[in-house]
Amino acid sequence: ASLNPDEVRSQLNSGTTETKLKLIQALAEAGEVGLPVLMEFLLERRSASITPVEGKVYQILYRVNSEPVQDFLKTHFQDGLLSVASEAEVDYSPLQQLLAEQNFLEADKLTLQKLCELAGETAIDRKWIYFSEVKRFSTTDLQTIDLLWQIYSEGKFGYSVQRKLWLGVGRNWEKLWPKIGWRQNGTWTRYPQGFTWDLTAPVGHLPLSNQLRGVRVIEAIFSHPAWSNQQG
Ligand code: UYC
């Protein structure tokens, strides 16, 4: 990728997601010179719909140890990149924070906790959810959680990403597990050390759903109306 600013700008506005992600990575590696282009890009995308492209730019800027860049983020994105909608009055900003930092292990734990908050007091105390509680989850809230995982993972992670893979293997769990790295050579991947907590993980690897009580919770999540307008 060329780092001529005008060319970069035009590619950032027209290329495929993959081209854009590569270009953004190149800009990040170019150091100081790439930063103004990334900030300008993010500012222009402020009222647009947020995708993994904006998520990656945000994550790069977030990591830059420079006062002007941090001031820029504070001024324009005080509450993070996405305004995290909830009908259930659950606060997703700590989840956004962890995902922006690519702290995927803690983000995964917090996601399970947020599902308990969605299910209510008894699930919060129990620390896990019943499959029957999932039906009542707000569509907005599930979509917020999913969008957060997607935008901060270059589109790799999230329930809707996992669901598409599941539909792609004819809803066959035994075919899904090895695809997303939850089972390898007939053995369950060990939690937490066996899992891959960064973007080298297979597509759909995160977030995790503990299968100790069976597939009914993950099946209920995949069957929720939140994804019903999405193609398999
Ligand atoms: N764990 O093996 N898991 C836990 C997964 C299983 C087990 C948590 C995923 C298989 C025990 C998460 C897989 C299994 C504990 C996950 C996996 C098993 C535990 C923490 C691959 C044994 C309790 C959150 C399918 C054969 C350990 C939570 C403890 C925890 C996720 C064992 C996120 C995706 C069937 C004994 N496992 N889990 O829900 O210290 O507890 O409490 O899925």
Q: How far apart are CA 106 and CA 103, in angstroms?
A: 6
Question: Is residue 187 helix, strand or coil?
Answer: strand
Consecutive 10-residue averages of pLDDT for the chain (232 residues) = 74 89 92 91 90 96 94 93 94 97 97 98 97 97 98 98 98 98 97 98 98 97 92 50
CA distance 150 to 49: 13
Beta-strand runs (E) in the chain: 183-184, 187-188
> For ligand 1, is residue 172 a contact (CB within 6 Å)?
no
Residue that the structure tokens 């599902």 belong to: 115
Residue bearing the CA closest to ligand 1, atom 21: 182
Nearest CA among 194, 197, 172 for reference residue 183: 194
Any idea which residue has 């956004």 for tokens?
A: 96
Amino acid at 31: G
> What are the tokens at 129?
């959810």
Which residue, 198, 172, 173, 168, is CA-closest to 183? 173
Q: What is the pLDDT of residue 1?
A: 47
CB atoms near residue 14 (< 10 Å): 9
Res 6: pLDDT: 81
212 close to ligand 1 (CB < 6 Angstrom): yes
Q: What is the pTM of this model?
A: 0.95
Contact between 89 and 144 under an 8 Å Cβ cutoff? The reply is no
C-beta of 189 in contact with ligand 1 (< 6 A): yes
ipTM associated with this complex: 0.95
DSSP state of 185: T
Residue of the nearest CA to atom 5 in ligand 1?
210
Q: How far is the CA of 154 from the centre of ligand 1 (A)?
A: 26
- Does 208 contact ligand 1 (Cβ within 6 A)? yes
Nearest CA owner, ligand 1 atom 9: 210
Question: Ligand 1: which residue has its CA nearest to atom 39?
Answer: 210
Task: Compute the distance between CA of residue 165 and CA of residue 152 in angstroms, rounded to an integer.
Answer: 19
CA of residue 210 to ligand 1 center, whole Å: 5
pLDDT on residue 232: 47
Structural contact between residues 109 and 128, judged by C-beta atoms closer than 8 angstroms:
no
Residues 51 and 54: their CA atoms lie apart, in Å, by: 6
Name 188's bridge partners. 183
